Structure 1
Amino acid sequence: MAGTSPRYDSCRFCQERFIQRSGPGRKKEYCSLDCRRQAQRERDGVLERQEHSALPLGRRIAEDLQALSAALLEAEYDGRPLPELLRCAGEVAREVDYYRAAAVQDARNQGVSWEQVAEAAQVSATTARTRWPERRVRERLQRRAGERAAVRQPTAPGVGDAGGKLLPQAAERASVKLASALSYLHRASELTVREVAEQTSLSPSYISRILSGERTPAWLVVCTLVELFGADPAELSVLFESAHGLVPPGRHAIPDAVARLQAALRGLHLAAGRPAVGVVRKAARGALSTQAISEILDGEMIPGWEQTAALVTALGGWAADVRPLWEAVHYTFLLCLDPPDGPEQFPSARSESP
């Protein structure tokens, strides 16, 4: 009818207003065919929900961001030239962009609406839907996976992480933790530096530099000191290897892979001064129960990744540094489900699902 104002309705999918058709027939529920199709996809369960995924998409990216930020800080402290500083900053910025996309997808998987995403990102709902549609996010994360794989791919012996070497910042962090663990054991032993020197035939000044972190000792020296302090050198084996930038080649049998992960966690606990279980639980902000912490540190339980990351962070470590050890355990468990040459023997510790 002439002079009648158009009637508006809100799209059931994107909530945008649109002109409703007039006349007989079923009224429109969506502003466009694309919105109707996407709503149908959600009803059909095509979009994955968070409860069906092992880990949030953004979790691993955040862990890599931690390592990249540490590399940038190390470059700044070392006074490296501007091109290298900007290269490190560019890697961080690119990873932050990937993280935003993954975080939005995680939120959408949990049922967060586009309006809520838009409010959090301080953009319009239309911009949010255009910037982070599921298909595009998946494609971007696949591209990121390829980029990260290329970064980790060795190009020549002794370059990057090739030749059995860890990245410098990871080795430096492990060296600090190793010194902290030795220093704690020394204090707990109540021996003076001079008494340690007399019983080990090491000079007092050398021992002091080891305990302060100025020198990273050889394995024989570590064993000598740890045994004198009344502890087990095996608990520091992974920290020692990491401090020297060593990555043992190849995959390990299940018991060995589990032992290495447990040694890494116990080493971090030792480096933190063996805090009580309650203190660790408080530092983990409730992500771990006191029973779980005790069972993990006692070797009675093989934690899932979320538990491992929470424990490592609570002990002052870097989750990204421990992730390869956890993945080695996970890999061997999967391999054991379909062993190529017969079944392997599982360790006695029970396992939590990743």
Structure 2
Amino acid sequence: MREQRPSAELLRCRAQIARLSEDVEAVAVRRGRDRGESWDVMSDALALSRDRLRKKWTLEIFDRRMGRRPSPPQPLSTNAGITVFIPQQRPPDTHRDGTPETDTGPEPNGSPPTYPHPSTPTQLLASALSYLQRRSGYTLRHLASDVRVHPSYVSRILNGERDPSWEVTAGLAVACSADAADLLPLWNAVHHVATPSPSTPTQAVNLYRAVLRGLHLAAAAPSPQAICEASDYSLTTTDIVRALNGPRIPDWPTTQHLVLALRGRPADLYTVWQIASSSPGTEVTTISAGAFG
């Protein structure tokens, strides 16, 4: 004879299954965001709108649902498959360097144009985050909700008035569908954290690209033609595309001109460039013939 269970028991089972389903959805969404997966892809899988899914699973809602308390910083997996470990940072609002750095390393070959002073580390990081916010189209309130801070704090970060923690920096990058690894060199410079020396040429190549991508974001992702013009045509668009995207590593003069055009400090990249350019199988291209006229 068929077992007859009370309807209330069946409904309790249904409620439990629904709670578990919601928990799985919450974890999957936050996992996807930590990996840099887009809201569009995940919302399509759930047959929800992008905005509805974002509002449904903010960090605050997720933490409240999972009953999670603040925990020590954990490694962050990035789009590039690189695990970024959150470094120790200096105390907030101390030793802020408002003086532009002028050390650019060995002078570029040829007759370089007169570049403006490099931006300060705080200016570069703020500019990169500000560009990502504009590109994403999200309001400050929306991003602040994602990273669990006040909108006014996000505004001060984007204006260069506050130096954010790595957790907030990475959270803003992920919320804007960007790779947090590209911001780590900029963040390290702001907080005076020495970037670990690459132990292999492959790591050096990855770091070399990350530094250039970070500077590129800080400059609001200008086109190769715009960078070419900023360098007073010391670089060609081919030089710039190769430097930013690979697979080749440009020579040091090309690297210097590119970093200066993006208002960075070439000296910060010199050691990494040396290791990266020595990678077996890595072709080092020289600056294009006739680039100096």
Of residues 186, 196, 204, the one that matches 2:151 is 204
Question: Could you tell me whether the CA contact under 8 Å between 2:242 and 2:250 is conserved in 1?
Answer: no
CA distance in 2, matches of 1:188, 1:325: 29
CA distance in 2, matches of 1:304, 1:233: 27
1:193 pairs with 2:126: no
1:309 pairs with 2:242: no
Gaps of 5+ in 2: 1-97, 111-116, 288-293
Amino acid at match of 1:263: A
CA distance in 1, matches of 2:247, 2:266: 21
Q: Residues 250 and 181 (structure 1 numbering): CA distance in 2 closer, same or farther, change over 3 Å? A: closer
Matches of residues 165-180 of structure 1 in structure 2 within 5 Å? 173-180=120-127
CA positional deviation for 1:328: 3.7
- The residue that corresponds to 2:164 in the other structure is 217
What secondary structure is seen at the aligned counterpart in 2 of 1:275?
A: coil
Question: Could you tell me whether the CA contact under 8 Å between 2:198 and 2:272 is conserved in 1?
Answer: no
Amino acid at match of 2:188: E
CA distance in 2, matches of 1:235, 1:250: 16
1:256 pairs with 2:203: yes
CA distance in 2, matches of 1:224, 1:256: 24
Gaps of 5+ in 1: 1-72, 76-91, 108-168, 337-345
What secondary structure is seen at the aligned counterpart in 2 of 1:217?
A: coil
Taking structure 1 as the reference length, the TM-score comes to 0.46
Q: Residues 326 and 203 (structure 1 numbering): CA distance in 2 closer, same or farther, change over 3 Å? A: same
CA distance in 2, matches of 1:322, 1:173: 15
CA distance in 1, matches of 2:140, 2:197: 39
Of residues 177, 182, 187, the one that matches 2:129 is 182
What secondary structure is seen at the aligned counterpart in 1 of 2:161?
A: coil
CA distance in 2, matches of 1:316, 1:208: 23
Question: Could you tell me whether the CA contact under 8 Å between 2:254 and 2:286 is conserved in 1?
Answer: no
Which whole-Å deviations, capped at 9, do the CAs of 1:155-180 have from their partners, x for residues lacking one? xxxxxxxxxxxxxx99x822210110
Instruction: Provide the identity percentage.
Output: 36
Question: Could you tell me whether the CA contact under 8 Å between 2:185 and 2:211 is conserved in 1?
Answer: yes
What secondary structure is seen at the aligned counterpart in 2 of 1:209?
A: helix
Q: Residues 297 and 201 (structure 1 numbering): CA distance in 2 closer, same or farther, change over 3 Å? A: same
Which entry has the higher C-alpha Rg, 1 or 2?
Answer: 1
CA distance in 1, matches of 2:217, 2:232: 20
Amino acid at match of 2:270: R
| Aligned residues: CA RMSD | 3.2
Which whole-Å deviations, capped at 9, do the CAs of 1:58-113 have from their partners, x for residues lacking one? xxxxxxxxxxxxxxx949xxxxxxxxxxxxxxxx9xx9xxx9xx9xxx99xxxxxx
CA positional deviation for 1:250: 4.4
1:326 pairs with 2:273: yes
Amino acid at match of 1:237: L
CA positional deviation for 1:182: 0.2
Question: Could you tell me whether the CA contact under 8 Å between 2:99 and 2:120 is conserved in 1?
Answer: no
- The residue that corresponds to 2:227 in the other structure is 280
What secondary structure is seen at the aligned counterpart in 1 of 2:256?
A: helix
Which whole-Å deviations, capped at 9, do the CAs of 1:294-342 have from their partners, x for residues lacking one? 1211132211110001101111222233323323434xx1xx6xxxxxx
CA positional deviation for 1:245: 1.0
Which whole-Å deviations, capped at 9, do the CAs of 1:178-226 have from their partners, x for residues lacking one? 1100000001111111111222221112111111111221222111101
Q: Residues 216 and 231 (structure 1 numbering): CA distance in 2 closer, same or farther, change over 3 Å? A: same
Q: Residues 217 and 189 (structure 1 numbering): CA distance in 2 closer, same or farther, change over 3 Å? A: same
- The residue that corresponds to 2:284 in the other structure is 351
CA positional deviation for 1:238: 1.1
Which whole-Å deviations, capped at 9, do the CAs of 1:24-63 have from their partners, x for residues lacking one? xxxxxxxxxxxxxxxxxxxxxxxxxxxxxxxxxxxxxxxx
CA distance in 2, matches of 1:228, 1:74: 31
What secondary structure is seen at the aligned counterpart in 2 of 1:231?
A: coil
Aligned residues: 180
**Which is richer in helix?**
1
Q: Whose RCO is larger (CA < 8 A, sep 6+)?
A: 2
Question: Could you tell me whether the CA contact under 8 Å between 2:146 and 2:171 is conserved in 1?
Answer: no
CA distance in 2, matches of 1:353, 1:290: 14
Taking structure 2 as the reference length, the TM-score comes to 0.55
Amino acid at match of 2:156: R
CA positional deviation for 1:251: 4.6
